[in-house]
Amino acid sequence: MRTYTLLICVLFTPLAGPSHAAGPQDADALAYFEQHIRPVLIARCYSCHSERDDAREGGLLLDRRAGWVEGGERGPAIVAGDPDASLLIQAMKYADSDLQMPPDKPLSADVVRKFEHWVRIGAPDPRDGQAVPAGDDPSDPIAGRTHWAFQPLATGTLPEVTAPDWSRSSIDRYVLARLEATQLFPAPEADRTTLARRIYIQLTGLPPTAGQVEEFLSDDRADAYERLVDQLLASPQFGERWGRHWLDLARYSDSNGLDENFLFREAWRYRNWVLRAVNSDLPYDRFLLEQLAGDLLPYDSVAERDRQRIAAGFLVLGPKVLLGNDPQKQRMEVADEQLDTMGRAVLGQTLGCARCHDHKFDPIPTADYYALAGIFTSTEVMEGRYMLGQQRVMERLVGLGADGEQADDAYESYWRDRPQLQERQNRAKAALEHLQKDEEEAFQKLSNEHADATAESARDASLDKAIRLEAQQKLVDEVTARLDNPPAIPPRAMVPTDRAEPADEFIRLAGQFDRQGAQVPRGVLQVVGDQRPQISPGKSGRVELGRWLTDVEHGAGRLAARVLANRIWHHMIGRGLVRTVDNFGRTGEPPSHPELLDYLAVRLIESNWSVKSLIREIALSRTFTMSSRDDEAGRAVDPENALLWRAHRRRLAPEVLRDTMLQAAGELDLTPMDSSVWYLGDQATAVGDNKNRRRTDFPCRSVYLPVIRNDLPELFDVFDFANPHATTGSRPQTMVATQGLYLLNDDSVMAAAEATARRVLAEADEARVNRMFERILSASATPDERDQMLSFIAQMRQRLKEGNDAEAELHAWTMACQALFASSRFQILE
Amino acid sequence: MSQKNTSPTDKHSQPGLAGSLPRREFVWQMGLGFAGVALSSLLARDGFFARHAFADEVASLNPLAPKKPHFPARAKACIFLTMNGAPSQVDTFDYKPELEKYAGKQLPADKDYINSGGRKVGYLTPAWRKFRPGGESGLLVSDYFPNVRQHADKLCVLKSCHTDSHAHGSALVALNTGKTLIGRPSLGSWAVYGLGTENESLPGYVVMLDKRGGPISGQPNWASGFMPATYAGTLFRPVGDPILDLRGPRHMTQPAQREQLDLLARLNQRHLEQRPGGRELAARINSYELAYRMQAATPEAVDLTQETQQTLEMYGVGKTPTDEYGRNCLIARRLVERGVRFVQLYSGGGHLEETWDAHESIEKNHGRHAAEVDRPIAALLTDLEQRGLLDETLVVWGGEFGRMPFSEGKDAPGRNHNPYGFSMWFAGGGVRGGTTYGETDEFGFEATVDKVHLHDLHATMLYLMGLDHELLTYFHQGRDESLTDVGGRVIDRIVA
């Protein structure tokens, strides 16, 4: 309700019609205030004239309308409609030598003109009400600490339930207590076949084979399920499923996107680092630290150094405006993108909103934004390069391995020096021609002007012509060989670095890079606590920031733990306890089970930030293993299933769809893949002369397919893959006709269906239908289903034969396989 | 609260099969033939939807279900004729007699502007073709558009447009999304988000590019930005099937596929019966139904063999140089007729002179491109009017900016980019025809009276379609985003 009220206040104050008379409070006028006046007041005046800063110089407050109406010791500060009679304007104009404001530095003429205009139109000012209590400013970081997400983690006692037997873990007690309070009953346990499919897909992104299901069903040990969970958590496929969840947040991509879609040739190293880190259950605090500051951390070996550097590629992967951009502006925009990604992915905060003005809903003043921005603007992610003969600014690359730097230098210098080499080749050829034509004078002239154009023996006119020719030809050949054989691209990674002179950032008025306000020391969010990390001089502060994020005592650790626990819950259960997984602010939703969320966060921290441990605990809970069955009472009381009276049903992600179809077809190759974009040129999208396009025909798992911004594989596009331009914590789950078209007609689905049909046809007659069901649905067909399929196939075979289809048998089975791929049973996870 | 969108919703929106809308019924019978009806009746026979009280919920999973507008719409659909490359206003719809007088002189020094691309600055140059009055209104249109001029009484020319970029790529993105920076939903996406679509057998937002190529800033011009991809424009390809995956391999004949779909429907229904209340399952079934209809409806919609010879001739189909744009205009009419919400037709594609980017020569460039589109556009207006569709279809014409009133050097017959003042026009869709709005200065250089920013243009287009640009918001990253951001005003003076 609070959120609602705030929204109304901020968005509709002008329409609500404040009772005071002065000033045209129409939307345009107020927009003018918000755009041009408020940011300046906050940045340049509040420090001496606001309750926030406990400052009332000269008795004047400028943090509310009443402040300037009443004025200070010199009387009213503004006469609405009359700039010349307004003390504030006179002070800003530095007209009077003993009243000059702000005292440190005058405002620009442009800003003063805007203030004059504002006063002239009646000084519209929505900051209404009598002396606003300090706590009512939504961006106040101290008052904002009362928001649930910033509160200490609750470690209360487990709630009492009337049916304690139902619970297998503490998680279940929290869930059941809420259900009992609402007089709802939890669904019974899912049957074991359904459960096997669910846990396999949730943990590995692949359904079990029929054999694996059978193995699980026939395992009658009491801990059979627990063993299965552990086995899946330890499988390499786990990282391919759960690493992708992080890649969604990291807006992972193999290209820049936006309007200059340059290839990120080396991004895959970061992708694979994530998959490996998730597989090895790298503690989350370390996982974050390496991504924010891997290039600055100590190391024991070159391999460790390189791993950490690759991790820091997280900061480099963002989409950037590359053309026609002021370097200053670009620096701010890159920092903004990094800040926003980190803010939403790790803290569930929309920090970007505080770039132009204090956050309108959340306790994040603009000063905090620029305190953080200073850390990122002190970091360099771009550099000038000679890329395939072109000089341009691009993502920073660092050579890998012991001699990585030299290899990279050699590669770079080849492209840098190539034009000179080309000239040298031309001259050497010209000299050769002079020799051939006996133009001795021209030859000597060229030789004198460019010593490197001629071979030593060729210069010696006393030698036999044949010898001279041979020597010169040899030189031409040498130069040509060098020119024609550029060094191979050495192993490199996208890695940030600290700038030579890290510096604090200035507030940019209204978010505009060329309108500097006050400078703010590099730092972190005040709402989290009073302690600020000490940033060592000469450093960007990324290491300190990285540690602060998961510092439970003095940093954002509690918040980060809540956000991560909720994400894990979201992926396991199908819906977050906080449904707005990327937004834990006031415009987000509060948690449906606050105590459970805190419990999970505490568990994370206690386990030393082990993601696998928390996944395991959730997987073993009865809550996770419930069936998805419907219940009228549940639907009536809680149609959204927020209280978890049953399991959520989920549509499969495009990666799972594709991998499973390939698996059924017997074509899936589980070998991890490195780059899947090596064949692409510098431009990642096929435009103009560039006909080269990203490929999707690799038999690898989908997580390794190219993610080209603006050119996602069709399957990804159609089935709601994460938008790689921005952090995506929760993918949409639409059910639209284009998905139907894809499944009914796309070549890749057809091909998988046909390959599956071929495998099935290789079996003995009577086993075929069962095999088909097992391959696609991990279960045998019931007699009914078998009859239905066989009659469809017989009918279809007949129809195709009549149509002179030489492969009627194969095609009939293909169509049956395809129908199973398209079936709800395959498409939707129970 | 997460998706706190204030898009209009319609609780009783059609679940997709009832077919009570007359237009839907029409499509049903005309377009789909036996197969489409067969599948739906299969479901209907089994009382598929009747048995499920959650039909509304099923529809709610479908983001394209029709929604009520904020207020009664003037236009149900919009056809946006996008002149990629930026046509010159002083040579087409903004007559500046003063240029005759100032010919050969330079633009006064106090006129400040960015010289886009640092090109040569030449001399003020009058229109390259004569302006003449058209219709009863006497609205002035140049001889580049003699056929459009015949519809002068339908046009409302906005002469005072201005935009935020002088570069083609970003200016076009701004024309389509409101901002020069890539990443926001396009106009068509907002329309479909706000209103849904009246014919789910076809995409709600269709884009047709010039065969010579796409616009330089590409797909972001019809992307859905931070909204789900469902709202993105669908490119109709110029050759072959208009969209991907409309057709399976050859052995998959229509009857064969229908049998397959019947099997699929039986499988899925059985699955659903075992899981009562599975609205996701029902939505999945529905999506195949729609896909199947789309397979038939889309080729049908672009099949011009159903048109009379007279109509084809009117649009200039089969004739050089009007064939391509004529076809596209005719397809646009057919799409709008079938309930498509937003159709965008690009004229000009690829680079430089292949678009309206007349640096070399206005006469050569505009002469060529206008000849390609003039007759088709006129035919579209005639056709829409004759079918009674013009009143409910907003037709918009224009480019990403305008051109300078001066040349690019002595005796150089081209003009450079001009974001400070240019013309666009509206027709139909509840707009007052035979009128102009706003003015540029005496040179046609910059908008001076009643300036129209892109946000105003967008606010007005949404308004005519029944949407309030301030209420049509999409919650993204903690903020209610809208097409017009904090700007935009509806130009109500041009509304009839």
pLDDT, tens only, A142-179:
889 999 999 999 988 899 999 889 999 999 999 999 99
Q: What is the pLDDT of residue B136?
A: 97
Q: Compute the distance between CA of residue B142 and CA of residue B152 in angstroms, rounded to an integer.
A: 11
Q: What is the mean pLDDT of residues B50-69?
A: 61
Q: Which residue from B minimizes the CA distance to A30?
A: B486
Position B60 confidence tier, pLDDT thresholds 50, 70, 90 = low
How remote is the C-alpha of A756 from its chain's centroid? Answer: 36
For residue range A639-678, list pLDDT tens digits in order: 889 999 999 999 899 999 999 999 999 999 999 999 999 9
User: How big is chain A, counted in residues?
Assistant: 830
What H or E segment, with its residue span, contains residue B342?
strand B342-347
Q: What is the pLDDT of residue B218?
A: 75
Distances (CA, A) of B406 to A524, B103, B140, B327: 54, 9, 21, 35
The answer to whether residues A77 and A71 touch, using CB atoms and an 8 Å cutoff, is yes
- Whether pLDDT at A301 is above 70: yes
- Whether pLDDT at A23 is above 50: no
For residue range A112-151, list pLDDT tens digits in order: 888 998 898 888 887 875 444 444 688 888 889 999 999 9
Q: What is the pLDDT of residue B84?
A: 95
Position A764 confidence tier, pLDDT thresholds 50, 70, 90 = very high
Which of A784, A824, A826 should one mutate to test binding to chain B, selecting the residue with the greatest count of B CBs within 10 A?
A824
DSSP 3-state of B236: strand
CA distance A370 to chain B (A): 19
Q: What share of chain A is helix, strand, coil (3-state, %, to 5)?
A: 55, 5, 40
Q: Which residue from B minimizes the CA distance to A721?
A: B229
Q: What is the pLDDT of residue B100?
A: 94
Set of chain B residues whose Cβ sits within 8 Å of the Cβ of A792: 259-260, 263
Q: What is the mean pLDDT of residues B173-199?
A: 91
Q: What is the mean pLDDT of residues A757-779?
A: 94
- Whether pLDDT at B357 is above 70: yes
For residue range A488-522, list pLDDT tens digits in order: 899 999 999 999 999 999 998 877 888 888 899 99
Q: What is the mean pLDDT of residues A96-120?
A: 84
Q: Which token pair is A815?
A: 């169509």
Position B381 confidence tier, pLDDT thresholds 50, 70, 90 = very high
In sequence order, the 6+-apart residues with CB closer than 8 A to the CB of A640 are: none
Q: Compute the distance between CA of residue A550 and CA of residue A288 in angstroms, rounded to an integer.
A: 8
**CA A39, A41, A46, A51 torsion: positive or negative?**
negative
The answer to whether residues A539 and A533 touch, using CB atoms and an 8 Å cutoff, is no
Inter-chain Cβ pairs, chain A and chain B, closer than 8 A: 191
Q: Compute the distance between CA of residue B82 and CA of residue B461 in angstroms, rounded to an integer.
A: 14
Q: What is the pLDDT of residue A521?
A: 93
Q: What is the pLDDT of residue A6?
A: 32
Lowest mean pLDDT among A450-464, A496-510, B25-39, B463-477: B25-39
End-to-end, the C-alpha distance of chain B in Å comes to 38
Distances (CA, A) of A556 to A285, A608, B470: 11, 15, 36
Question: Hey, are the CB atoms on B280 and A649 less than 8 Å from each other?
Answer: yes
Position A686 confidence tier, pLDDT thresholds 50, 70, 90 = low
Q: Which of B466, B364, B431, B372 is nearest to B151 (CA)?
A: B431
Question: Hey, are the CB atoms on A587 and B475 less than 8 Å from each other?
Answer: yes
Q: What share of chain B is helix, strand, coil (3-state, %, to 5)?
A: 35, 15, 45
Strands (E), B24-154: 77-83, 131-134, 139-142
Q: What is the pLDDT of residue B187?
A: 97
What H or E segment, with its residue span, contains residue A373?
helix A366-377
- Looking at residue B366, its amino acid is H
**Burial (Cβ within 10 Å: 0-12, 13-18, ≥19) of residue A480:** middle
Which of A735, A789, A798, A801 should one mutate to test binding to chain B, selecting the residue with the greatest count of B CBs within 10 A?
A735
Q: What is the pLDDT of residue A320?
A: 86
Set of chain A residues whose Cβ sits within 8 Å of the Cβ of B169: 259
- Whether pLDDT at A2 is above 50: no
Set of chain B residues whose Cβ sits within 8 Å of the Cβ of A354: none
Provide the pairing of β-strand B435-437 with B439-440.
unpaired
Q: Compute the distance between CA of residue B479 and CA of residue B471 in angstroms, rounded to an integer.
A: 13
Q: Compute the distance between CA of residue A403 and CA of residue A466 in angstroms, rounded to an integer.
A: 43
Position B253 confidence tier, pLDDT thresholds 50, 70, 90 = confident
Q: Compute the distance between CA of residue B23 and CA of residue B340 in angstroms, rounded to an integer.
A: 11
Question: Hey, are the CB atoms on A352 and B276 less than 8 Å from each other?
Answer: no
Which of A575, A823, A829 should one mutate to test binding to chain B, selecting the residue with the greatest count of B CBs within 10 A?
A823
Q: Compute the distance between CA of residue A598 and CA of residue A552 in angstroms, rounded to an integer.
A: 13
Q: Which residue from B minimizes the CA distance to A324?
A: B167
Provide the pairing of β-strand B342-347 with B205-208.
parallel
Q: What is the mean pLDDT of residues B168-172?
A: 87
DSSP letter for each residue of B386-444: HTT-GGGEEEEEE-SSEEEEEESSTT---EEEE-SSEEEEEEETTB-SSEEE-EE-TTS
User: How big is chain B, counted in residues?
Assistant: 496
Nearest CB to A740; choose among B4, B247, B288 = B288
DSSP 3-state of B156: strand
Question: Hey, are the CB atoms on B477 and A344 less than 8 Å from each other?
Answer: yes
- Whether pLDDT at B5 is above 80: no
Question: Hey, are the CB atoms on A827 and B284 less than 8 Å from each other?
Answer: yes
Contacts 24+ apart (CB under 8 A), A82-91: A82/A119, A82/A120, A83/A115, A83/A116, A83/A119, A83/A120, A86/A119, A88/A115, A88/A119, A89/A115, A89/A116, A89/A119
ipTM of this predicted complex? 0.73
Set of chain A residues whose Cβ sits within 8 Å of the Cβ of B226: 723, 726
DSSP 3-state of A610: coil
Nearest CB to B229; choose among A630, A717, A818 = A717
The answer to whether residues B151 and B431 touch, using CB atoms and an 8 Å cutoff, is no
DSSP 3-state of B83: strand
Q: Compute the distance between CA of residue B147 and CA of residue B315 in angstroms, rounded to an integer.
A: 11
Q: What is the pLDDT of residue A325?
A: 62
Nearest CB to A736; choose among B230, B281, B480 = B230
**Burial (Cβ within 10 Å: 0-12, 13-18, ≥19) of residue B492:** exposed
**Phi, psi of A104, rounded to the nearest 5 degrees:** -70, -40
Q: Compute the distance between CA of residue A742 and CA of residue A749 in angstroms, rounded to an integer.
A: 8
Q: What is the mean pLDDT of residues B212-240?
A: 78
For residue range A572-611, list pLDDT tens digits in order: 999 999 988 999 998 788 899 999 999 999 999 999 999 9
For residue range A466-492, list pLDDT tens digits in order: 999 999 999 999 999 999 998 889 999
Per-residue exposure over A78-89, b if at least 16 CB sit within 10 Å of its own CB, e if not: bbbeebeebbbb
Q: Which of B372, B321, B371, B367 is nearest to B345 (CA)?
A: B372
Question: Hey, are the CB atoms on A259 and B276 less than 8 Å from each other?
Answer: no
Q: Compute the distance between CA of residue A43 and CA of residue A60 in angstroms, rounded to an integer.
A: 16
Provide the mean pLDDT of chain A: 89
Q: What is the mean pLDDT of residues B257-268?
A: 89
How remote is the C-alpha of A437 from its chain's centroid? Answer: 65
